């Protein structure tokens, strides 16, 4: 990541290596987890609680991946609504998936409560803000489907959304009260702390470079020359997937999401901007998402260019979006800028793979992984502990690299430019 632009952490500088368990080459572990983000750490915590011996290895520092860098929006559900899931996956798996998707935000708030995590959070809901009639119709459809299943959701009219967000330009929207906001870095570091306390080992700056199956156990080699043995390996590398498992990186399209944080807002402005503390994502093709931070800043994010940023100008689209929504913030300083990677899959669903027995991989957070990966980690731990594949909400699928993967990236960049133009016309 580009120096100076990768640090979302304005309250809590990270120690150089807070997690440095000794790598033991002796006994065969139950599980080595590659990647210490929310997916890897949630798996580690629940698997350690189930009595498994766990080693987490991360190539960088805990929280330096998407998990520490994200927008902190804890949103239940998947990209698809319940009726689509049931139609696509059939009644039994579809209904199970809907129940799983409905509870992904609970997975976060339950672990914060049960494990007493020191994480700033609010749970006052998430607003999907509609800026066109088409988006309003989609919101009404989503509302009907979730409300008929008893979810605490409601449609917002123009006056309600204006009062709740203080933002300009929305026709209405949808409030999902199951959702909330966390401080993402605190959450990730706290997950690591309690996973460690539950018995998992965690080592930072340990890139895994080779996996070999030897007589039914996996031999895991790190860049530094350490060798571990484990019955199972879980790749929880998501958008930061490298060439460790051939073909896996080619199953996703990694995209950059850029964020800015203002200086803490003065009281007179703060009173009218998201007074209820909800998170917001809007309905544009290239959506922006925003929230207030616990220390009173406005934090806003959106898609960014794939080349590494080189100056503050690379975040100009976020600043424009902020002042379009909140003209009164025009004079407020932008104090922080950072970015991270999200992983898209062609079908917009997370993919779970087990190409060989005991070798598991999870990719494809679609930019909405805080709840999803917390919940999936718990299910993955259940699978590791019992071998019961019904613990996994999504089917295990073969690794299918996207054809012409290198060109897909260029295509996505072109599509983003095109969609930005369309969004601008709809203003």
Ligand X SMILES: Cc1cc2nc3c(=O)[nH]c(=O)nc-3n(C[C@H](O)[C@H](O)[C@H](O)COP(=O)(O)OP(=O)(O)OC[C@H]3O[C@@H](n4cnc5c(N)ncnc54)[C@H](O)[C@@H]3O)c2cc1C
Q: Interface with ligand X by CB under 6 A: which residues?
A: 34-40, 57-60, 64-67, 69-73, 75, 207-208, 236-240, 242, 244, 257, 259, 289, 301, 340-342, 365, 367-371, 373
Shortest distance, CB of residue 344 to ligand X, whole angstroms? 11
Closer to ligand X by Cβ: residue 30 or 204: 204
Shortest distance, CB of residue 254 to ligand X, whole angstroms? 10
Angle made by CA atoms 234, 236, 237, in degrees to the nearest 5 = 130
Task: Tell me 331's DSSP state.
Answer: T
In whole angstroms, give the CA distance from residue 161 to residue 135: 14
CA distances from 366 to 160, 179, 240, 277 (A): 29, 17, 13, 24
Shortest distance, CB of residue 163 to ligand X, whole angstroms? 23
Closer to ligand X by Cβ: residue 332 or 375: 375
Shortest distance, CB of residue 53 to ligand X, whole angstroms? 18
Shortest distance, CB of residue 337 to ligand X, whole angstroms? 11
Closer to ligand X by Cβ: residue 65 or 173: 65
Enumerate the H helices of 170-262 as residue ranges.
184-197
Shortest distance, CB of residue 14 to ligand X, whole angstroms? 12
Shortest distance, CB of residue 189 to ligand X, whole angstroms? 12
Closer to ligand X by Cβ: residue 205 or 272: 205
Say if residues 370 and 73 touch (Cβ distance below 8 Å).
Answer: yes
> What does R_g of the chain's alpha carbons equal in angstroms?
21
In whole angstroms, give the CA distance from residue 301 to residue 334: 13
Query: Cα dihedral angle (200, 201, 207, 208), rounded to 10 degrees?
Result: -60
Say if residues 300 and 318 touch (Cβ distance below 8 Å).
Answer: yes
Shortest distance, CB of residue 158 to ligand X, whole angstroms? 25
What residue number has its CB nearest to ligand X? 369
Q: Tokens 């879980």 map to which residue?
A: 234
In whole angstroms, give the CA distance from residue 18 to residue 288: 33
Strand ranges across the sheet with 121-122: 73-74, 180-182, 121-122
Taking the alpha carbons at both ends of the chain, their separation in whole angstroms is 33
Name 94's Cβ contacts closer than 8 Å, sequence gap at least 6.
82, 85, 86, 87, 88
Closer to ligand X by Cβ: residue 71 or 82: 71
Closer to ligand X by Cβ: residue 135 or 380: 380
In whole angstroms, give the CA distance from residue 391 to residue 395: 10
Q: How many CB atoms lie within 10 A of CB 256?
A: 17
Closer to ligand X by Cβ: residue 133 or 227: 227
Shortest distance, CB of residue 266 to ligand X, whole angstroms? 25
Closer to ligand X by Cβ: residue 155 or 233: 233
Closer to ligand X by Cβ: residue 86 or 338: 338
């Amino acid at each position: 990541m580009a120096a100076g632009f990768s640090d979302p952490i304005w309250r809590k500088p990270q120690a150089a290596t807070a997690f440095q368990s000794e790598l033991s080459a002796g006994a065969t572990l139950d599980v080595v987890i590659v990647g210490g983000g929310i997916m890897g750490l949630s798996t580690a915590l629940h698997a350690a609680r189930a009595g498994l011996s766990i080693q987490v290895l991360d190539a960088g520092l805990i929280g330096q991946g998407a998990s520490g860098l994200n927008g902190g929006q804890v949103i239940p559900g998947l990209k698809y609504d319940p009726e689509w899931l049931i139609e696509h996956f059939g009644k039994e798996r579809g209904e199970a998936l809907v129940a799983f998707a409905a509870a992904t935000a609970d997975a976060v708030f339950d672990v914060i409560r049960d494990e007493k995590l020191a994480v700033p959070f609010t749970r006052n809901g998430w607003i999907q803000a509609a800026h066109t009639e088409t988006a309003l119709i989609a919101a009404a459809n989503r509302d009907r489907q979730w409300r008929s299943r008893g979810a605490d959701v409601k449609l917002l009219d123009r006056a309600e959304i204006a009062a709740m967000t203080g933002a300009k330009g929305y026709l209405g929207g949808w409030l999902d009260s199951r959702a909330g906001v966390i401080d993402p870095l605190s959450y990730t570091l706290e997950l690591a702390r309690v996973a460690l306390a539950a018995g998992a080992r965690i080592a930072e700056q340990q890139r895994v470079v080779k996996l070999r199956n030897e007589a039914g156990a996996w031999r895991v080699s790190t860049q530094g020359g350490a060798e571990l043995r484990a019955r199972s390996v879980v790749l929880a590398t998501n958008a930061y997937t490298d060439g460790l498992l051939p073909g896996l990186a080619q199953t996703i399209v990694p995209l950059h999401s850029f964020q800015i944080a203002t200086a803490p807002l003065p009281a007179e402005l703060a009173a009218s901007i998201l007074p209820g503390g909800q998170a917001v994502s809007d309905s544009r093709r290239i959506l922006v998402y925003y929230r207030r931070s616990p220390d009173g800043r406005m934090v806003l994010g959106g898609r960014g260019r794939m080349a590494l940023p080189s100056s503050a100008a690379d975040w100009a689209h976020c600043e424009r979006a902020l002042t379009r929504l909140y003209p009164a913030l025009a004079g407020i300083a932008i104090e922080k800028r950072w970015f991270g990677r999200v992983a898209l899959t062609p079908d917009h669903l997370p993919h779970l793979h087990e190409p060989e027995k005991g070798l598991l991989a999870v990719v494809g957070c679609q930019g909405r992984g805080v709840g999803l990966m917390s919940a999936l980690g718990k299910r993955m731990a259940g699978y590791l502990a019992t071998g019961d594949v019904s613990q996994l909400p999504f089917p295990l699928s073969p690794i299918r690299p996207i054809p012409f993967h290198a060109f897909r990236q260029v295509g996505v960049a072109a599509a983003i430019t095109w969609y930005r133009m369309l969004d601008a016309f709809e203003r």
